[in-house]
Structures are given as C-alpha cells and as structure tokens.
Structure 1
Amino acid sequence: MGSVIFTVLDILNFLLILLLWIYTLRAYKKLPEKIPTHFDFEGKPDHFGKKRFAFLLPILSAIFYVAFFFIAKNPETGNFPVEITDNNSSVQFFIMILLMKWLLCLVLLLFLNIQDYTFRYSFNADSKARVHILIFIPFIFISVMAAIIAAYIYR
C-alpha cells in the first residue's frame, strides 16, 4: 500500500513541477519587464524585479524535488521524534517518507499559486491570489503535527 501512495505522490509532484515549468515558459514572453518578486502578508507586492525572476520558483521546485527524492531514498539519515529500532523502523520510515512527499506537494501547490498570482498581478494590479498564501501555513503545520503524533503512536 505504501509504495502505491508514494508512487501517486511522486507522479503528482512531478506533474506539478511540469505544470509550473510549462506555465512559466508559456507566459514568459508576454510578461512585462518588471514583475512582482515579493508580496507582503496582505498579498500586495512590496518588491519588483526583472522578468527573469519568473524562473525562480520553477528552479526551486526542481531543486526541492531532487532533494526530497534523495532524502526519501535514505530515510535512516533523517531526524526522528522517536528512537528508531528494528521493530519500528519500517513504520517510522513510512511516516517520514509520506510526510516528505506530502510537504513537497503542498510547497509545489504554494509555488504554483504564487506564480499564478505574480503573472496575473503583472498584467492587472487589481487581481487577487486564487488561494490566499497564508492558507498553506496551517496545512503544513497540521501535516507536520500529524506525522509527529503518528510517530509517537507507532513507536
């Protein structure tokens, strides 16, 4: 069951990265020379840069994907909230790998949302983010807390 879940998340994460790259490449030529590169907590841009900064999030997403891939391949090097023993190692590794792949999915969705908002704001200063950026923080926090609780339950 675990390998099916991991495969689905791997494919989903790869498709999200691919979508981010395709979206960026298709929109790049149409972008103005200056685009927002940072937003405040209210969603208003507070820093602008050249349009080549549009590639920052796709590059970061690819780096995160590769880093998370290697971390998931070597779970024994991770930092766990409970002691890893022969009896609990498979469950603990499953929880950690699932968390890593799920967090990557959330981060990639956040990147897509930010990229979309950046591009739409570049053309229309009245546009709003489709999903408020701060919505992702509770999902990330709850995911980490659920993984820690699961790790203690299955220690």
Structure 2
Amino acid sequence: MRKVNRKKDSRPVLEISRTYEDWFLDAASLIGLILLVSCLIYYWPLLPNTIPTHFGFSGQPDDWGGKSTVIILPVTAVLLYILLSAVSYFPHTYNYPWAITEKNARAQYLLARSLLGWMKAEIIWLFLYLTWITILIALGQKDSLGPASIFIFLGVIFGTVGIYFLLSARAQ
C-alpha cells in the first residue's frame, strides 16, 4: 500500500487567473529563448571544432570539448521553459515551507508561481549569457566569463529565492 500525504490532499485547488507579472515573465523568458537559439544558429558555422565547456571559479575556461556541446544549454533552456511553464498551472502540488490553508492558499500559490516565473526567466537569460560568452571565447574575442560572473549569478538566484521566502513568510 502506498502512503498518501494527507496535507497535500487537503490543500485547496484554486483556479487563479494569470497576472500581468506572469505574462511579462513568460514574454521575457520566451524572448531570451528565441535570442539563445538564434545566437547559436547564427554563430554555428563560425565556431571552431573545440570550444570551452566548463569555467572555473575565476571565470577562466578550464575544460574544452567539441562544438556540439554548446547545444546543451539551449536544449536545457527549452526543456526548462516547457517544464516550468506546465508546472506553474499546479501550485497546489508544490512543496511549501509552511502549511497551506484556505486563508493563505491564494497568496502562497501566487507567490510560488511568481518564483517559478522569475527563476525560469533568470535561468534562460543566464544560459543565453553563458552561450554568448562561450561563443566569444571560442572565436577568440574574449578570454573569460569575468571573475564577478559567478557572484552575480549566485546573487540573482539566491536573491530571488530569498525574496520569495520573505514574502511567503509574511503571507502565512
């Protein structure tokens, strides 16, 4: 027999219409995705057979591979876009840091959906940046990501999650 999680089963299932923020984040994500794929298609014939595939903490490339490896980020971005877009319609199934009640469900669901939208947009634009820099390094026009890149990436992602937890705690 399978154990059923009664807490998730008892959560209200609400139909929440999409907000302007949802539309904006979807548009920003889709624009980033189009730019990412377009950038790769445009530069593909110009890329050498060996390109950077990994960057160290300093931002310097520390591993190299075949040019087909640059396809990994756009493919991952497309899959993440599809997955996160689909999952955003089922906020009652997410894991939350606090109990979901009739009183706080709407606010918590909106905040969680917003978090997914922001993360989707940020990750796609991060992948666009990484693909762009990888191409520039492969073409000899740049030598590294830059030492601050990792801190900026982590700051944006953790900052977004931190803001979510703060707003979610207030909405309990």
Alignment root-mean-square deviation, CA: 1.7
Q: 5 Å matches for 1:48-63?
A: 48-63=64-79
Q: Please tell me whether the aligned partners of residues 113 and 129 of structure 1 are also in contact (alpha carbons under 8 angstroms).
A: no
- Which structure 2 residue ranges, 5 or more long, are not aligned? 1-16
Q: Please tell me whether the aligned partners of residues 2 and 94 of structure 1 are also in contact (alpha carbons under 8 angstroms).
A: no
From the two aligned structures, give the one with the greater helix fraction. 1
2:167 matched to which residue of 1? Answer: 150
1-structure distance, mates of 2:27, 2:80: 15
Which structure has the larger Rg over C-alpha atoms?
Answer: 2
State the 1:47 CA deviation: 1.1
Q: Percent identity, aligned pairs only? A: 26
1:139 aligned to which of 149, 156, 159: 156
1-structure distance, mates of 2:158, 2:142: 30
Deviations 1:5-36 (A, max 9, x none): 10011011011001100000110110000000
2:92 matched to which residue of 1? Answer: 76
2-structure distance, mates of 1:10, 1:17: 10
Q: 5 Å matches for 1:12-23?
A: 12-23=28-39
Deviations 1:55-107 (A, max 9, x none): 11100000111111122111111011111111111100100010111011111
2-structure distance, mates of 1:19, 1:125: 20
TM-score normalised by structure 2 residue count: 0.85
Q: 5 Å matches for 1:21-60?
A: 21-60=37-76
- Which structure 1 residue ranges, 5 or more long, are not aligned? none
1-structure distance, mates of 2:96, 2:170: 13
State the 1:126 CA deviation: 4.6
SS of structure 2 residue aligned to 1:35: strand
Amino acid at match of 1:103: M
State the 1:145 CA deviation: 1.2
TM-score normalised by structure 1 residue count: 0.93
Structure 1 runs (4+) greater than 2 angstroms displaced: 125-131
2:132 aligned to which of 111, 116, 120: 116
State the 1:133 CA deviation: 3.4
